[in-house]
Each structure stands twice: as C-alpha cells, then as structure tokens.
Homo-oligomer: A and B are copies of this chain.
Amino acid sequence: MTSKPTIGFAGLGAMGFGMATHLLSQNYPVTGFDVYQPTLDKFQSAGGVPATTLAASAKDKAYYIVMVATAQQAQSALFDTDAIVDNLPQNAVLILCSTVPSAYAKSVQKELSARGRDDIAFIDAPVSGGAIRAADGTLSIMAGASDSAMEKGKWLLEELSAPSKLFIVQGGVGAGSNMKMAHQVLAAIQILSTSEAYGFAARLGLNGQEVRDKVVGGKGWSWMFENRSLRTLTQDYFPGASAVGIIMKDTGIITSTSRLLSYPTPLVTAAEQVYFSAADRGYTPNDDAGLVRLWTETPVTDIQSTLSDQEKSDRLDLVVQLLTAIHLVSAAESIAFADHVGLPLQQLYELASEAAGGSAMFKEFGPRMIEVLEGRGEDVKIGSHLDGLKSAVEEAQKIKCPLFLGGAALNVLLAAGKGGEVGLKGLLGLYTVS
C-alpha cells in the first residue's frame, strides 16, 4: 500500500496518541506500544498496529519515537532487557520526545555508546503545543543531536511539526531539552497564573466569561490563558487534556536544575508549591485548568456579577494588571535562565512566542530583554506594571485572596527596583549570576 517506513512508537498518552495517529494520517505504518490496553485498542481502531511488548514495537523499526511521561519511564522503556534498544535494528533513528532533564538526554547518548550502539542516531527532541497540535502535525519541536543524527531524522521531525516550528538547537543532545526547560519556565508559571487570575476575579465577583473576553486579545493574554479557558469555562477537568501531574513533573525538572546550578527561579518555585498543594487535594490526574478550584468552589461561569459597569471595569483591570506583571516576570525568569544555560535567546524568543509559553508580555518585552542581556539597547522602565500589580495585590489583601504568583512577582519587582524606578536591567540583574 505504501513505501513509507514503519515507525515504532512508545507512549500513547494525550500527546503521543495525537502524534502517532497524525503519522497514520500521513500514511506511515505505525506500531505503537502503551501499558494501558484501552489505549492500545483505541490506537488499533485508529488504524495503528498495537504492540503488547516494547520488543514487538521496536523490532525491525528503522525509526522509533519515545513519548512516555518521565525520564524514569524512558530509561526503563529504552534500556530494560529486551526493551527498545535491544530490539532496534542497526542504524535506526531514535527520537526521545518526552520532556526530561537535559542531563538525562545526555545520559541516553552515553548509555547507547556504552552498550556498543553508537550506530543508533539519537535525537533529543521535546515538543510543545498540546494534544490538538500533536494530532495536526503542527507541534513546536526543540531538537538537539549530532549533525549526522539530525540529518537522518529531520524529515520525521518535520512531519510532526508546523513549518517554521521545528527548532534545531545548537549544542547537540541535551540542547533540545534545555530549550524545552526554558520554555516550560513560561508554561509552569502561566498555567498557574491562569487559575490565579480566574480565582482572583471570581472572588472580586466577576463572571468567568467576562474575564476571558477581557483578557484574550489584550496585554494579559497568554497562550495558556486562552487555551485553558476552554476548559475552565466548561469545568472540563476530568481528566481534561493536560494533567496537573504533567506540569508538576516539568516544574520539578526546572527547580532541580535551578538548585544544581545555584540559579534562582522564584516564580516557578512558588508555582511548584501550589502544584504540590493541589496534589494534596487529589488534583494530580485532573486538568490543570481545574487549579482554579483552589480559589473558588463555584464554577467561574456561575458567578452572576452584581457590580456596576464602573466597578466591573475597574476590577477587570486589576485582573489584567495581575497577569501582565506576572508574565513580565515570567519572561525575565525564562530568558535569563536560557541565557544562563547558554541557549540562543533569539531562538527561544521565536519558539516560545508561537508556542504554549507565549504571552503578550513575552512578545512585547522579550526582544528588549534579549538586548539588555546582550549588552545592547537602552534600559526600559516597567514601573507602571509594578504599580498595577501593587493595586491588584492590595485589593487581594482586602478580600484575603491568596496570590501566590502575584505576591512572588511583586517581590521580584521590588527587589529589582531597589527602591527606585524598575527597569528591565534591574529585573534581569536580579537573575543574572556570575
């Protein structure tokens, strides 16, 4: 029927299923493995060949994609006896799309070498964009590999990504994962800022739909806000599309790297503690849009606003001010971290602007931040964002509404300002280490 090569695939979760079925739609035979039988059945119905062992999924596959949830799962799937690596043919291309620590991606390359499988072309290629773009073949992909491995596997990455959204990151294996980590700094903060903003708004008496309409398209916009709003406004959390457990895992990669490098990540750290609190409430398998339940038991669309037009307008402004200030600091936290680990900043900017980490503030201030870090350009004053955040935090204090990120962002800006006017130089300087 087709001369296209068969692809082996491990990990048919929300993202993996979308990627694998997209390849099917492009007439690639795909042999897929998952530990969960109903998923395998669904994959078979979609035209895939189910494999009940990793060995069967890998045998004779010249191309293999791993999209399991964690580095630990990847390690077992790759290197257990009679698992993937033991069964891949000579000169196979092996692509790891899971979000893992950069150090783990490098360790895979080393272990392949130690096992005498340097013939395998290994590509470290985490993705971003959500399940819908996975199924459309329009993901953002951040890939690092040797030139020879990239040459052999690039066409497959192109099948999975949108034109202009395949980012080959210089630096070899590990560079892709580092880029994903810098991107996830934005994601980890903006997933929570979405719920914090909806929660704050609910407690100000604002209806969720009105909040959504105010934020999307304005300065408070983030990709996460717009995307999660689909589920926040319909309470589609069980399981929804992106579990709290997933972002919690990514957050852990960021903060453990931060500790290792003695590098500060105050907002991601604040977010991580809230994710742990959510886990305590049993939210781990639920969609992260449901984190708003930490602030309000009433669905945000059920809130019937009794405010005057003026009051409503003022309070919506406070919500936007909360978001813009958090996203300004998240942009600095991500870009400065990327700089610290030696990533090309312009590439991060292009990638994240059009991926799940994007925000209006990132798009506006990212280029100026890069100029500051590269020693070019004037300082840019951001005092109005500090003032807006102060107003939001003051109002939240009156109604005893926790703003974990708002409070942390405020203190980053206050420390950056050193009592004077706050500029990007001061903000980035707070993150810059020797």
Chain A interfacial positions (CB closer than 8 Å to B):
248, 252, 255-256, 258-259, 261-266, 269-270, 272-274, 276-277, 279-280, 294, 386, 390, 393-394, 397, 400-404, 407-408, 410-411, 414-415, 417-420, 430-434
Number of this chain's copies in the assembly equals 2
Contact of A403 among B262, B273, B403, B418 (CB under 8 A): B273
Please, which residue of chain B has its CB at the minimum distance from the CB of A397? B252
Please, which residue of chain B has its CB at the minimum distance from the CB of A405? B273
Task: Report the separation of the CA atoms of residues A416 and B408 in the bound assembly, to the nearest whole angstrom.
Answer: 16
Known contacts A407-B270, A407-B273, A408-B270; A418/B394 CB under 8 A: no
Say yes or no: B263 contacts A414, CB within 8 Å.
yes
Contact of A269 among B258, B401, B407 (CB under 8 A): B407
Task: Report the separation of the CA atoms of residues A400 and B261 in the bound assembly, to the nearest whole angstrom.
Answer: 21
With both chains docked as a complex, state the minimum distance between the C-beta of A275 and any C-beta of chain B, in angstroms. 8
With both chains docked as a complex, state the minimum distance between the C-beta of A346 and any C-beta of chain B, in angstroms. 24
Known contacts A264-B415, A414-B262, A415-B264; A400/B276 CB under 8 A: yes
Say yes or no: B431 contacts A258, CB within 8 Å.
no
Say yes or no: B430 contacts A269, CB within 8 Å.
no
Task: Report the separation of the CA atoms of residues A277 and B407 in the bound assembly, to the nearest whole angstrom.
Answer: 13
Say yes or no: A415 contacts B431, CB within 8 Å.
yes
Say yes or no: B434 contacts A404, CB within 8 Å.
no
Say yes or no: A277 contacts B411, CB within 8 Å.
no
Say yes or no: B411 contacts A266, CB within 8 Å.
yes
With both chains docked as a complex, state the minimum distance between the C-beta of A77 and any C-beta of chain B, in angstroms. 22
Contact of A270 among B270, B386, B401, B433 (CB under 8 A): B270
With both chains docked as a complex, state the minimum distance between the C-beta of A225 and any C-beta of chain B, in angstroms. 21
Task: Report the separation of the CA atoms of residues A33 and B346 in the bound assembly, to the nearest whole angstrom.
Answer: 68
Known contacts A400-B248, A402-B280, A414-B258; A419/B263 CB under 8 A: yes
Contact of A259 among B256, B274, B393, B433 (CB under 8 A): B393
Contact of A273 among B404, B418, B433 (CB under 8 A): B404
**A-B pairs with beta carbons under 8 Å apart, 18 shown:** A255-B407, A256-B397, A259-B394, A259-B410, A261-B419, A263-B414, A263-B419, A264-B415, A265-B411, A269-B407, A269-B410, A272-B397, A272-B407, A276-B401, A276-B402, A408-B408, A418-B432, A419-B434
Known contacts A273-B404, A280-B402; A264/B411 CB under 8 A: yes
Please, which residue of chain B has its CB at the minimum distance from the CB of A248? B400
